[in-house]
Chains A and B, each alone.
Chain A
Amino acid sequence: MVVKVYGATYAACPQRVMACLFELGFQFDLIKIDLQSGEQKQPQNLLRQPFGQVPSIEDGDFKLFESRAIIRYYAGKSASQGGTNLLGETLEERALVEQWMEVEVNNYNPLIYTMVLQLVVLPQQGQVGDMELVKDCKGKLEKVLDVYEERLSKSKYLGGERFTIADLTHLPNTRFLMEEGGMEDLIKRRKNLHNWWLDISSRPSWLKVMDLPK
C-alpha cells in the first residue's frame, strides 16, 4: 500500500515525514498542496488537517496528521515488523528518544519557527520581519545548542549510540539554520554538533528529500 503524503517538498514538517518514510523504506506519493495560495486552509484540506496545515497522510483508510505523530507511527510499525528500528531497542532507549523529541518540540522548534516567520515568511508576504526578535531567538538558541553539544560529546546520536527519530526530527529545522537562516556558524562552532549534523544530513534518506523537485 503506497502512503499518500499531502504537503510540499520544501516545507519542514512534510520533509520530516518524507525523510522518515525513505529511511524505513515505506513507499509514498506526495500530493502537492499549494501553500503559497493557501490551499492548506481550503475546506478539502481542513478535512485532512483541521488546523489547516501540512502534512497529513492517508494509508488506505487510515489517516493521521502532525508530522511527529506520523513518524512515531511508522517507526513503530517498522520496528514491530522486524524492519529498521528508529525508535530504540529497550524501554529506556525509547524513553531517551522521546525525551530528545520533546526537547526539539519545546526548546528548539519554537525558536527556529519564530526566526523562519521573521526572516522568510513575512518578507514573502511583503512585510518586514522583527530583527530584534530574531536576535533574541538566536541568543536563546546559543544556550540550547550548548546543551546539545554537551549531549553529543557523550553520545553519538541524541537518543544514544544509534540514529533514531530523535535525530531525524531535527533535520528540517537544522537545514534552515545552515541555509536560508544564515546561522551555520552556530552549528560549525560546536564540534560535536557539527559532526552530528554532517552525519545525519548525509544520510541517503535526507539527500533524497533534498533532491525532490520544488
Chain B
Amino acid sequence: MATIKVHGNFFSTATLRVLASLNEKSLDYEFVPVDLRSGEHKKDPFLSLNPFGQIPAFQDGYLNLFESRAVTRYIAHSYAGDGIPLVSSDAKKAAVEDVWAEVEAQRYEPPAAKLTWELGIKPVLGMATDDDVVKAQEAELAKVLDVYEARLAHSKYLGGDAFSLADLHHLPTLKYLMASPVKAVFEARPHVAAWVADIMARPSWQKVLAC
C-alpha cells in the first residue's frame, strides 16, 4: 500500500505540479479525487488536510503537507536518492535553482495562472473568457519571458545545467498555455520555445498527462 497520498484533481495545476515531481522520482502514490463542485475542499474532513481549503493536500505516512511547491521540495529532498535529481546536491547550485523557482512563483505564475483560468478552465466550465484580461496578462507574460529568453541563451535549464524544480514547476500551466493562442508568446522566443519543448517531452510529464 502506498504511503503517499495526493488529494486533488487533474484540472488543478497545483495538483499536477506534485504528480510531476512524484513521477520524476518514480514514486508510487494513491490519488484521492476531491470534488470541487460540491465544495468538498472547503469542508471537513478536507480542511484538516489543508486549512486554507485548497488542493492539493499531501500525505506521506503521518506527515501531512499542503502548498504544492513545499510538497515538491519535500519530495526532492526526502527522496533525493530515488529517480531523477530535482535539486542539486551543491549548495550554491541549489541556491541558483531556488532563485528561478522563486521567479516562477513570484513573476511567472501570476500572469500564467490568470491566462490558464481565462483560456483553459473557464471554457470547460462554460464561462466566457475576458479578452481584456487576456490581453493585459499576455503583455505581462511577454515581459517575464524576455528575461527567460536571456537566461536560457546561456543556461540549458532555468536553474542551471540540470533540470530541476525551477523548470518542473512551470509544466502544469504550460499544459494549458501551449494549447491556447498564448503559445505564440513562447514560440516567438527561440530559447524559451526549445526549453518548453524539452521539458514537456519528459516521460514523467507525459505520464501525468496520461492520468
Is residue A183 within 8 Å, beta carbon to beta carbon, of the partner chain?
A: no
In the complex, the chain B residue whose C-beta lies closest to that of A59 is: B92
**Which DSSP category, helix, strand, loop or mixed, fits chain B's interface?**
helix
Q: Is the CB of A102 within 8 A of B91?
A: no
A-chain residues with CB within 8 Å of residue B51 when the two chains form the complex: 147, 150-151
CA distance A101 to B72 in the complex (A): 13
Question: Quick check: B52 and A66 within 8 Å, CB to CB?
Answer: no
Contacting pair A64 B74 (CB below 8 A): no
* Contacting residues, chain A, for B151 (C-beta < 8 A): 50
Q: At the interface, yes or no: B77 with Cβ under 8 Å from chain A?
A: yes
Q: Flag whether B66 is at the interface (Cβ < 8 A).
A: yes
Determine the residue in chain A with the shortest Cβ distance to B66. A99
Q: Count CB-based A-B contacts (< 8 Å).
A: 78
Interface check A144, CB cutoff 8 A:
yes
Known: A51-B107, A77-B91. A69 touches B102 (CB 8 A): yes
Interface string of A78-96 (1 = CB under 8 A from B): 0010000000000110111
Establish whether residues A73 and B95, one from each chain, have CB atoms under 8 Å apart when the complex forms.
yes
B78 within 8 A of A: yes
Contact yes or no, A96 B52, CB < 8 A: no
- Chain B, interface size category, equals 20 to 34
Size of chain A's interface in residues, with CB distance under 8 A? 31
Question: What does DSSP make chain A's interface, helix, strand, loop or mixed?
Answer: helix
Q: Which residues of B contact A77 (CB under 8 A)?
A: 91
Question: Are B99 and A65 interface neighbours, CB within 8 A?
Answer: yes
Question: A: which residues have CB within 8 A of B?
Answer: 50-51, 62, 64-66, 68-70, 72-73, 76-77, 80, 91-92, 94-96, 98-99, 101-103, 105-107, 144, 147, 150-151
Known: A66-B102, A72-B95. 10 other contacts (CB 8 A): A62-B92, A64-B96, A64-B99, A69-B101, A73-B94, A76-B94, A95-B65, A98-B70, A99-B65, A107-B52
